[in-house]
């Protein structure tokens, strides 16, 4: 299967060609997108700790992505990450 690479406009050629419909595109609730400060407040740790945990050299980096060069966290992904960090 050939994967299509998103064009500069952010919409992949497969979507433009109609191969995918809006039902197959995952919908992200904007309320679930968090900044460093918002995530630090939810986890009750410092912003410095958040930044440190995002570094690739970290044992298990926090899942995040960049939006216009700004780090954002998707709360459901953070919840999954937290479950994996649980010491049993």
Residue 9 covered by a domain? no
The span from the CA of 46 to the CA of 36, in Å, is 9
Residue with tokens 């700790």: 49
38 belongs to a structural domain: yes
State the DSSP code for 57: T
Domain that includes residue 53, residue range = 26-85
> Domain for residue 41, yes or no?
yes
Can you tell me the mean pLDDT for 81-88? 91
Integer-rounded Cα Rg, in Å, for the chain is: 16
The tally of domains found in the chain comes to 1
Is residue 77 within 8 A of residue 60, CB to CB? The reply is no
Per residue in 10-68, pLDDT (tens digit) is 555 555 565 556 566 678 888 999 999 999 999 999 999 999 999 988 789 999 999 99
């Amino acid at each position: 299967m050939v994967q299509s690479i998103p064009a500069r406009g952010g919409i992949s050629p497969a979507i433009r060609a109609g191969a995918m419909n809006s039902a197959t595109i995952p919908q992200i609730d904007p309320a679930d997108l968090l900044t460093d400060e918002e995530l630090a407040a939810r986890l009750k740790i410092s912003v410095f700790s958040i930044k440190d945990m995002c570094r690739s050299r970290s044992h298990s980096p926090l899942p995040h992505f960049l939006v216009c060069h700004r780090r954002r966290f998707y709360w459901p992904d953070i919840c999954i990450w937290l479950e994996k960090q649980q010491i049993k």
